[in-house]
Amino acid sequence: MMYPILKRNQIAVFALVVITIFSCKKQRPVDPPRPPSAELPPSTIYEPVLSSHSVFYCGSPLTSNLKIKDGTDIGTVTVGNDDKYLYLTYDVADDWYLGNVSCYAGQEFLIPRNPDSGNPDHEQFPGKEKLDFCDLRQTFTFRAPLSALASDNSGQCPSNTQYYVAMRASVKQIAGGGDCNTGSEQAAWGAPFLINPGNTNEWATAFYYCKQDCTPALPPAEPPTLQWCAFSQGYWFNKADVTWCQTVKYGSLEINQQDGVNLWPAQNNWVKRAFFQASALQLSMQCVNGGNPIPDSIAADYIRLETFLSTLTYANIQNATFPSTTDTSGVKAGAGNIGRWICNNHCNSDSTACSGF
């Protein structure tokens, strides 16, 4: 009579073991849900650019090393954008040549991976092109419409738009004149960081690219109009409460305020008049206008007088003597032009500014 009871106990134990096994079985982690709009773009959006091309990138393109497994740099990868496309360019150097190329640019979590290992699956990258080593190609470019690429928001990017970029190429070293069909091909990836750092057997690498802003820079603001004004010869040489901020200089001729005042007035001495008018501009430039250059509208007349005065001594000015080669008509006209200019651009409404020229 004990047999049926034992049988029922055995069944209960067996059921408990089965339940325990299934409840303890390790479950594969569930990937985080993807936003409804996040989808891997079709490969058709990656257009190969086989011919030579010139691209005017917005901002600054990003260039990174292209490395084979042992860490050797064999070239570069460059990513940049204009206002419509993202460009991804491979360049290998020396005797390295390109075979098949593949790339991905978009949101980081969307990069195709092996579901078991988490390693990148470059054969599923949307950008791919089969190239023949025997074409001896050393550069290749994909372009993809920016509007078709998903991106991550990143405060580290001025545009707040960041792409996760993985660029892989099959490469082969072919010595000059060598047979392109011999030798073994290797994988090369655009550096610098590992895509799956948890797997020590996988060395595929990727990098981040900040979309560059294509908004045209505003033209530089027009500099403010310089309000240059001058005080007259009478102000600088016949006003007791005025102090010069410096001496006046013409070549090796240098005259301080006291010596300049001692020359006043000009009367019929046109050499003095030239000195007073030129000095009125020079002192106005340095003492009133912060050293800003004399305006173009009167600069030529000032230079004419400056050149003339640099040939003189203090005694020449006192005695109205000058080199025989002097263009006296030009100097006199220049002095008159400066007097009229000061009259029209005087720093205050002094009525005496418009006399004596």
* Cross-strand bridge partners of residue 308: none
Q: Tell me the C-alpha distance between 48 and 42, whole Å.
A: 14
Which one-letter DSSP state was computed for residue 230? Answer: B
Q: Which helix (H) or strand (E) holds 300?
A: helix 296-309
Query: What is the pLDDT, as a whole number, of residue 225?
Result: 64
Q: Tell me the C-alpha distance between 162 and 212, whole Å.
A: 9
Q: Tell me the C-alpha distance between 61 and 89, whole Å.
A: 11
Pairing of strands 85-92, 96-106: unpaired
Select the more confidently predicted residue: 56 or 38. Answer: 56
Tell me the pLDDT band of 357, cut-offs 50, 70 and 90: low
Show the tokens assigned to 214: 């294509």
Taking the model in full, what pTM does it have?
0.55
Query: What end-to-end distance do the CA atoms of the chain give, in Å?
Result: 145
Q: pLDDT tens for residues 157-207?
A: 999 999 999 999 999 999 876 899 988 999 999 999 999 998 888 999 999
Secondary structure E strands in the chain: 47-49, 62-68, 73-81, 85-92, 96-106, 127-129, 139-145, 152-153, 161-173, 186-190, 193-194, 205-210, 248-250, 253-255
Q: Tell me the C-alpha distance between 140 and 130, whole Å.
A: 11
Select the more confidently predicted residue: 257 or 55. Answer: 257
Of 26-35, 65-74, 96-105, 248-257, the one with minimum mean pLDDT is: 26-35
Tell me the residue type at 341.
Answer: W
Q: pLDDT tens for residues 203-215?
A: 999 999 999 999 8
Which one-letter DSSP state was computed for residue 41? Answer: P
Q: Which helix (H) or strand (E) holds 343?
A: helix 328-344
Query: What is the pLDDT, as a whole number, of residue 38?
Result: 56
Q: Tell me the C-alpha distance between 1 and 75, whole Å.
A: 85
Query: What is the pLDDT, as a whole number, of residue 28?
Result: 37
Per DSSP, the residues of 231-294 read --HHHHHS-TT---SS-EEETTEEE-HHHHHHT---TT-HHHHHHHHHHHHHHHHHHTSTTPPP
Q: pLDDT tens for residues 291-321?
A: 999 999 999 999 999 999 999 999 999 999 9
Give the residue among 121, 123, 80, 120 at the shortest CA–CA distance from 101. 123
Burial class (CB in 10 A: 0-12, 13-18, 19+), 307: middle
Tell me the pLDDT band of 133, cut-offs 50, 70 and 90: very high
Give the residue among 47, 77, 281 at the shortest CA–CA distance from 169. 77
Show the tokens assigned to 99: 């075979």
Give the residue among 182, 156, 282, 186 at the shortest CA–CA distance from 231. 282
Of 19-28, 45-54, 221-230, 292-301, the one with minimum mean pLDDT is: 19-28
Q: Tell me the C-alpha distance between 129 and 151, whole Å.
A: 23
Residue 25 pLDDT greater than 50, yes or no: no
Residues 294, 298, 299, 305: what is their CA dihedral angle, to the nearest 10 degrees? -110
Q: pLDDT tens for residues 66-103?
A: 999 999 999 999 999 999 999 999 999 999 999 999 99
Q: Tell me the C-alpha distance between 249 and 259, whole Å.
A: 13
Give the residue among 296, 235, 293, 285 at the shortest CA–CA distance from 264. 235
Q: Tell me the C-alpha distance between 189 and 201, whole Å.
A: 15
Tell me the residue type at 224.
Answer: P
